Every structure is written in structure tokens, then in C-alpha cells.
């Protein structure tokens, strides 16, 4: 099938979170199954064009698009090789994308022109099939940012006689990010005003809501784990107000578990690590732990009675990730000998709180408030435990990486975490589990899980078995890609019935 993917993120060009890894790995897994996948991304101002090996496509005519009242010039760049298995196109438009930041400015404030950016991104992407005489069969939009493509496609394809598309799929990576704007902002999108007025497609509680429109407009909708699909269609807390819209899609709304890209995330081959290791040769992990402690100036590893496990955390510092559950425990746990390697950026209040607690416990708590891919790998490898106490978690990739790196995750039973981690202590004498799972979103519940983990960690034989069970888990993309293929086929069938 000819699949056009539209996303604001893709590894290695632009990454805020899991979406970037998913778009990269899923598109390659689909290409392995002989699909022709082309991804369209904005060319952000911070992207290093030489390092990322992208080149302008000079053979195309000058291109323009109207966004609101303004006409913007834009052109396409592509990843060096025209023979690449997955073709990646980047939209250069200095007015809208020529500055650093994907959703927010470097200080954390959201861009005021995010709708205009999304509109131009979608318009450019939808032109691609005509520019390359490439009849697209499926438009696969990721998250609210890509929804304008779903809104434009029927109008455009009908008016301009463009080839395709057969069907559309919206993948929701996080229901909490909906792109909500004042109703009058519909003018930016160039869509009829009625669409943003009750009971229009875009209207939700008196405002323009892109994600809501996408849920109704796409031929198929999915999210990134079966459990999160159920949570979001049945409860307001997880559905973030859109639960009824999701429920109304019935069988057209499904959950497909993300995969982990073991080409990048494999401790046996990872070049970011000071030593490699596998489930049969775990000695390298010991070296990784020592090196991590040296790098972050943490007390050296060991299992003396006063030394607890080294706990890693890599993630966005936002409420969703359960940082509020962890913070109140850090003083006590550091006093008990636990060590923490924390890497993340996000809300200023959480970053500040992390800085303060880390300064109080030198040698026990290290906080790195930046985005650092290499350090992330070294934390997955060098830690004993991986913390992911999320309040909600659409799928979560970090716990899958932690499992592969022999670092049992401590997770809350929610979303994709519940689909991927089995508790090692609740199931009896630790024969089946892969990590530690707790239920209530309270610090005490997380503390209980950490105490259970510490107990097992002090028994090297049980711990080694637990690590190896986690390392044997296989969340590879091949299975997910096959499931997406089925959804694409359903999208094409549904799409055809609208024509
Ligand atoms: P989400 O998409 O909600 O952020 P996921 O667990 O799906 O959560 O994916 C998070 C991804 O982002 C992982 O690859 C994780 O290692 C990475 N990541 C998050 N914060 C950082 C950071 N500060 N530095 C490096 N990598 C990070």
C-alpha cells in the first residue's frame, strides 16, 4: 500500500517523546512488509541539516499555500537517498517552522501559531501525491497536530482531482493533547465557519478542538495500547472529555500496542554504553552501573546494607508521568540508601523541585534537566530499577526499553504499562513477573512497590531470574505493523464507502 504519514515528530529529526520513536520504527516495519511509506515532517529551525543528511528537492516548482490571510512560500527537503526504504520529506517554511521548538518555545511557552503550523504541514503533505505522481492509498495522521490533513482531504481530493486517498487513519498517542483554540481560529484553517460552531465537526464545548474533529473525521481511529483504548472510551479521567466521541466510533476505535525498536534499543549492540551485555552475559551491566555512578557522581554501586538499588527515571517531567508521586518519597528513600539517576525536562515547578532535592542528597540523587539521548541509554542500562509511576500512560516505551536492558520497571497499573509489565511479587514467589506494579496513584503505593522491589533485589538469584525474564520479552514492531496493515485495509474500505 502507498501510505502517507503525517507527524510533528520523528526520530532522529524531531523528538519530544514516544511519538518520534513510533513514527520512525513503525514506518520502517511497514516498509519491511513491502509498503511504500512516505513521512512528511516540518523542517524545524533547530534541525541540523548537514548532520541529518537532508537535501532540498530542487526539481520541484516553487510552492505556496494560503494559511488564514497569508500566503506562505515553502519547499520540500528530503533525506539524502532517493532509494531509502522509507521516504522522508521535510517542509521548509521559514515563516512558520524556521525557529527552534516543536510544540513550544525553548522557554516552554506554547507557540501562538500552532494552528497555522499544522495547516501548512497538512497542505504540504497532501500535495505530495500529485507532485510525485504517487497515488496515496492511506493517509495516516498522528495526533491532533496532523488532523487538518483529515479535514482537508475530502474537499481537496474532490475539488482538485488528486490521486487517492482511499482511507484515513488517526493514531492518538495521548488524549490529553487535543489542540484546543477559540472557535474564531477556524479562519486559520480555511474551513467553513460552521464547522467550529455547535454542532459542527470541530466544535467542542464552545471551542475549536482538533482532536475531536479528527476522531469523527477519520475512517479509522486507534490508540497505542488495548488497555488505554478501553480506559479512554469508558472514563472521563482517561478520555479527557472525548470518551463519548471515542465510544461512538465503536469497532472503528482500537488499541494497538506500540513496539520497541530493538535495532536501537538492545544492550548487546548499543553504542552509547561503556560495555555491552545480554541476558546470558550480564557482567557488562555491572560496568554500566559503575560508569553511570561515576558520570553522575553517585555513590558507587554495591549491596552493603546501607546501599539500596539505583533507580533510573527518564521522561518528561509532567504530572502524567507520576513525578508528583515520586517527589515526596525522595528524601526518605535517599536516607535509606536508594540512589536515583533522574533525567527529564518539563514543568518548571517539577524541574525546580528535582534540583532542590538533588542538591540536598549529593551522591544519592542526581538530576539532569536536559534532553540527552545518550544519557537516557546509559540510565536504562546502568540502573537496577526503572521508575515509571505514571498517572496515565497511553502505551509507554520506556518500560519496554528498561525490560530489555535488564532493569525491572516499577509501574502503576494503567494504560500500556498494565499491558506490558507483570508484577513479580503478587504472582507468588517471583516466578512469572517482569517488574513491580502498584494500583493507587498515591506516594505510599509507589513506596510499597519500591520496598517489594528492594527486598527481591537483595536476593541475587531471584533478581537475576527477574532480569532475564524481562530481557526475554519481545515487543517488536513486526506484530504491530501487521495489525496496522489490517486497520489500513479497513480504512480503505470505509473510505471507499464515503465516495
Ligand atoms: P511519552 O511519549 O509520553 O513521552 P514514552 O515512554 O512513550 O513517553 O517515550 C518517551 C521517550 O522519550 C523514550 O524514548 C525516552 O527515553 C525519551 N525521553 C524522554 N525524556 C527524555 C530526556 N530528557 N532525554 C532523553 N530521552 C528522553
What SS3 string covers 263-300? Answer: CCCCCCCCCCCCCCCCCCCCHHHHHHHHHHHHHHCCCC
Kindly tell me if the per-residue pLDDT of 480 is higher than 60.
Answer: yes
What length is written for the chain?
A: 499
- Ligand 1 lined by 260 (C-beta under 6 Å): no
Q: For domain 2-259+478-498, give its CATH number from 3.40.190.100, 3.90.1260.10, 3.40.50.12780, 3.40.50.2000.
A: 3.40.50.2000
Task: Please tell me if the CB atom of residue 372 comes closer than 6 angstroms to any atom of ligand 1.
Answer: yes
* 396 φ/ψ sector (left φ>0, alpha ψ -120 to 50, else beta): left
- Residue % of the chain over a pLDDT of 90: 87
Q: Is the pLDDT of residue 367 over 70?
A: yes
For residue 466, pLDDT over 90 is answered with yes
The closest alpha carbon to 147, from 110, 182, 106, 191, belongs to 191
Q: Is the predicted pLDDT of residue 394 greater than 90, yes or no?
A: yes
Answer whether 18 contacts ligand 1 (Cβ < 6 A): yes
Q: Is 17 in the pocket of ligand 1 (CB under 6 A)?
A: yes
Q: Which residues contact 342 (CB under 8 A, 6 or more apart)?
A: 312, 313, 354, 358, 365, 366, 367, 368
pLDDT tens for residues 152-198?
987 777 677 666 678 999 999 999 999 999 999 999 999 988 889 98
pTM over 0.75: yes
Domains 2-259+478-498 and 283-475 share a fold: yes
Tens of pLDDT, residue by residue over 282-317, are: 999 999 999 999 999 998 755 555 689 999 999 999
Alpha carbon distance 282, 240 (integer Å): 43
Interval between CA 19 and ligand 1 midpoint (Å): 9
Domain ranges, ordered by start, for the chain: 2-259+478-498, 283-475
**Cell representation of residue 65:** 499555500
DSSP 137-178: -EEEEETGGGHHHHHHHHHHHHHHT-----EEEEEES-TT--
Residue nearest to ligand 1 atom 19, measured at CA: 315
**Alpha carbon of 419 to ligand 1 centroid (Å):** 18
The pLDDT mean for the chain works out to 94
Q: Is the CB of 343 under 6 A from ligand 1?
A: yes
pLDDT at 17 over 90: no
Please provide the CATH number assigned to the domain covering 283-475. 3.40.50.2000
Amino acid at each position: 500500500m502507498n501510505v502517507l504519514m503525517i507527524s510533528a515528530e520523528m526520530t532522529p529529526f524531531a523528538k519530544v517523546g514516544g511519538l518520534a520513536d513510533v513514527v520512525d520504527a513503525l514506518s520502517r516495519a511497514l516498509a519491511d512488509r513491502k509498503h511504500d511509506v512516505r513521512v512528511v515532517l516540518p523542517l524545524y529551525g533547530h534541525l541540523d541539516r548537514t548532520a541529518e543528511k537532508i537535501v532540498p528537492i530542487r526539481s520541484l516548482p516553487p510552492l505556496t499555500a494560503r494559511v488564514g490571510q497569508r500566503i506562505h512560500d515553502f519547499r520540500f527537503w528530503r533525506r539524502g537517498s532517493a532509494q531509502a526504504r522509507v521516504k522522508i520529506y521535510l517542509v521548509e517554511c521559514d515563516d512558520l517552522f524556521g525557529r527552534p521548538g516543536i510544540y513550544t518555545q525553548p522557554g516552554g511557552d506554547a507557540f501562538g501559531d500552532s494552528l497555522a503550523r499544522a495547516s501548512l504541514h497538512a497542505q504540504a503533505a497532501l500535495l505530495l501525491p500529485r507532485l510525485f505522481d504517487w497515488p496515496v492509498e492511506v493517509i495516516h495522521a498522528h495526533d491532533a497536530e496532523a488532523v487538518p490533513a483529515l479535514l482537508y482531504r475530502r474537499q481537496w481530493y474532490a475539488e482538485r482531482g488528486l490521486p487517492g486517498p482511499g482511507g484515513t487513519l488517526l493514531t492518538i498517542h495521548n488524549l490529553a493533547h487535543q489542540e484546543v483554540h477559540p472557535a474564531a481560529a477556524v479562519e486559520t484553517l480555511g474551513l467553513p465557519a460552521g464547522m467550529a460552531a455547535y454542532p459542527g465537526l470541530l466544535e467542542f464545548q464552545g471551542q475549536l478542538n482538533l482532536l475531536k474533529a479528527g476522531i469523527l473525521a477519520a475512517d479509522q481511529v486507534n490508540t497505542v495500547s488495548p488497555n488505554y483504548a478501553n480506559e479512554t472510551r469508558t472514563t472521563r479521567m482517561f478520555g479527557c472529555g472525548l470518551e463519548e466521541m471515542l465510544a461512538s466510533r465503536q469497532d472503528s476505535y482500537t488499541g494497538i500496542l506500540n513496539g520497541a525498536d530493538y535495532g536501537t534499543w538492545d544492550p548487546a549492540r548499543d553504542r552509547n554504553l561503556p560495555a555491552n551485555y545480554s541476558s546470558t552475559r550480564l557482567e557488562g551491566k555491572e560496568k554500566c552501573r559503575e560508569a553511570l555512578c561515576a558520570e553522575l557522581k553517585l555513590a558507587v554501586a554495591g549491596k552493603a546494607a546501607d546501599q539500596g538499588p539505583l533507580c533510573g527515571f527518564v521522561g518528561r517531567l509532567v504530572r502524567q508521568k507520576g513525578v508528583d508521586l515520586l517527589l515526596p518519597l525522595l528524601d526518605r528513600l535517599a536516607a535509606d540508601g536508594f540512589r536515583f539517576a533522574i533525567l527529564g525536562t518539563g514543568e518548571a515547578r517539577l524541574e525546580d523541585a528535582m534540583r532542590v532535592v538533588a542538591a540536598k542528597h549529593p551522591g544519592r540523587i542526581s538530576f539532569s534537566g536536559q534532553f540527552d539521548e545518550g544519557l537516557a541509554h546509559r540510565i536504562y542500562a546502568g540502573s537496577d530499577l526503572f521508575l515509571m509511576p505514571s498517572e496515565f500512560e497511553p502505551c509507554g516505551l520506556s518500560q519496554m526499553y528498561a525490560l530489555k536492558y535488564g532493569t525491572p520497571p516499577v509501574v502503576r497499573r494503567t494504560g500500556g504499562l498494565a499491558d506490558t509489565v507483570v508484577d513479580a511479587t503478587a504472582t507468588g514467589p517471583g516466578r512469572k513477573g517482569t517488574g513491580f506494579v502498584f494500583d493507587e496513584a498515591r506516594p505510599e503505593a509507589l513506596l510499597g512497590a519500591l520496598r517489594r522491589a528492594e527486598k527481591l533485589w537483595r536476593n541475587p538469584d531471584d533478581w537475576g531470574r527477574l532480569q532475564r525474564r524481562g530481557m526475554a520479552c519481545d515487543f517488536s514492531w513486526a506484530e504491530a505493523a501487521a495489525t496496522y496493515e489490517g486497520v489500513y485495509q479497513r480504512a480503505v474500505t470505509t473510505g471507499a464507502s464515503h465516495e
